[in-house]
Amino acid sequence: MKAEIIAIGTELLMGQVVNTNAAVISEYLADLGIDIYYHVTVGDNRKRLKEAILQAERRSDLLILVGGLGPTEDDVTKQVLAKHLSEKLVFDPSSKKKLEDYFAQTKREKTANNERQVLVMENAKALFNHVGLAAGAFLQKNNHCYAVLPGPPSEMKTMFTKELKPLLQEIVDENEQIHVRVLRFYGISESQLATKLERLILEQTTPTLALYAKKTEVTLRLATKSKSTSEAIKRLDKLEQSVLATEDVVSYFYGYGDDNSLAKVVVSLLKEKGKVLTAAESLTAGLFQSTLGDIEGVSEVYKGGIVAYSLEAKAKLLRISEASLLEEGVVSEFTARMMAENSMEIMSADYALSFTGVAGPNSLEGNSLGTVWIGFARRAQTPVARLFHFSKTRQFIRESTVMCGLDILRRELLKN
């Protein structure tokens, strides 16, 4: 089954609203094993919407129209689709009751155009709006399926999952049920990984294999359609083994799933080992610790740390001699090691990472933009420091530094 999403709204074409609905609906459809080949956006314009519907009917089986269900004259989605399909628009009783209750409760005046929101095509199944007022609809007619959803993302999401999804599941052939596995990699670029996996990518049939370059990492999506879950898992296991058996690939692989991150993996490993981490940050200015702070339950393994942006702060907060900082330089192996060691002592932590380098715009102490030393201290071991060179923007240099620090710790935690 091929689907196409048509988003309706002039605010989308003006750039006032980002079309997040298209992404969310696509993800929902992918999970149902429904293929999507096109997203289209048109304004609140009858003629252009009609043309978009005609075009979608020529190339897709399922048309999902989202937006333009509101109370104003601008909102034309239902009207255009109903006219095109020669359907009468009638009131949906449940939705109309909700609308009336809403206006009674909030003591607002209900203007006539408000009732437009609860109109549905006569032969369609009304989709109840659990969050807002505008009713959606689902109709199978002339070998096509049509779904109409409201534009506000929270209304759309609830209507899709509670109302539309069960209907779509009924009509999707069981054979088409899709099974997906996401593998996450850090430290290898999209093109390097693509080169290493070239043979597997070229030879792919099922499961399929797709690479996605994220900001500072790469994900690999394995997907297969199958009636049997165990059969699907077997196939995914086999392909995953081939991927990870490819020369050198496994060392960059750090975890599974769309809702995962290097920071989450590191926090889990720290919890598992019962270890506590701290950090002393210069160029990253708190970004490393803030990345940890984003993870629920991190307080078990992270208690706090220091942002020592200037030379004076490195001396004062991290108790490094100012003379040595001046002599060795703030962007140096010495400073990175001292920052890590002293912050570990101060916080009585098991591990400490430190970051000092040049985020730009100017070079520093003769070090060019993107030069970064990362220090790493472990209880009862000599601290170490490694030199890196990052590039692009100030923000990207800082983000790359954070990811690199997380990876150093992850590799260490896997050792023991």
- Report which residue type is found at 282: S
**What is the number of alpha carbons within 13 Å of residue 353 lying toward its C-beta?**
27
Nearer to a second copy (CB atom), residue 108 or residue 379: 108
The only residue of 94, 206, 299, 321 in contact with a second copy, by rule CB under 8 A: 299
**Residue 168 binds a second copy, judged by CB under 8 A:** no
Nearer to a second copy (CB atom), residue 148 or residue 358: 358
Number of residues that bind a second copy (CB under 8 A): 108
Task: State the nearest-atom distance from the C-beta of 396 to a second copy, in Å.
Answer: 7
Torsion of Cα atoms, 145 then 150 then 153 then 159, to 10°: -60
> Residues 91 to 130: which contact a second copy by CB under 8 A?
102, 105-109, 111, 113-114
| 3-class secondary-structure state, position 234 | helix
The only residue of 8, 33, 34, 41 in contact with a second copy, by rule CB under 8 A: 41
| 3-class secondary-structure state, position 34 | coil
Selection from 191, 171, 92, 83 nearest residue 134 by Cα:
92
**Residue 79 binds a second copy, judged by CB under 8 A:** no
According to DSSP, the β-strands at 119-121 and 371-378 are unpaired
Q: ω into residue 361 within 30 of 0, thus cis? A: yes
**What is the number of alpha carbons within 13 Å of residue 172 lying toward its C-beta?**
25
**Residue 310 binds a second copy, judged by CB under 8 A:** yes
> Residues 337 to 366: which contact a second copy by CB under 8 A?
346-347, 359-361
Stretch that binds a second copy, among 32-40, 118-126, 138-146, 163-171 (CB under 8 A): 32-40
Instruction: Give the x/- contact pattern for a second copy in 236-255, rule: CB under 8 A.
Output: --------------------
Nearer to a second copy (CB atom), residue 124 or residue 409: 409
The only residue of 8, 34, 42, 124 in contact with a second copy, by rule CB under 8 A: 42
Question: What burial class does residue 409 get, using C-beta atoms within 10 Å of its C-beta: 0-12 exposed, 13-18 middle, 19+ buried?
Answer: buried
Reading the block at residue 256, the tokens are 């599974």
Q: Mutual orientation of helices 333-347 and 311-318 as an angle, nearest 10°?
A: 40
Task: State the nearest-atom distance from the C-beta of 250 to a second copy, in Å.
Answer: 18
The only residue of 88, 93, 174, 210 in contact with a second copy, by rule CB under 8 A: 210
Task: State the nearest-atom distance from the C-beta of 239 to a second copy, in Å.
Answer: 18
Task: Tell me how far the alpha carbon of residue 53 is from its chain's centroid.
Answer: 30
**Residue 302 binds a second copy, judged by CB under 8 A:** yes
Task: State the nearest-atom distance from the C-beta of 140 to a second copy, in Å.
Answer: 23
Nearer to a second copy (CB atom), residue 84 or residue 394: 394
The only residue of 199, 212, 271, 365 in contact with a second copy, by rule CB under 8 A: 212
| DSSP label at residue 300 | G
Nearer to a second copy (CB atom), residue 113 or residue 175: 113
Task: State the nearest-atom distance from the C-beta of 111 to a second copy, in Å.
Answer: 5
**Residue 313 binds a second copy, judged by CB under 8 A:** yes
Nearer to a second copy (CB atom), residue 213 or residue 414: 213
How far is residue 95's CA from residue 108's CA, in Å, rounded to a whole number? 17
Q: DSSP per residue over 244-279, as a string?
A: HHSTTTGGGEEEE-TT--HHHHHHHHHHHHT--EEE
Task: State the nearest-atom distance from the C-beta of 107 to a second copy, in Å.
Answer: 8
How far is residue 253's CA from residue 219's CA, in Å, rounded to a whole number? 9
Selection from 266, 263, 309, 269 nearest residue 285 by Cα:
309
Task: State the nearest-atom distance from the C-beta of 337 to a second copy, in Å.
Answer: 18
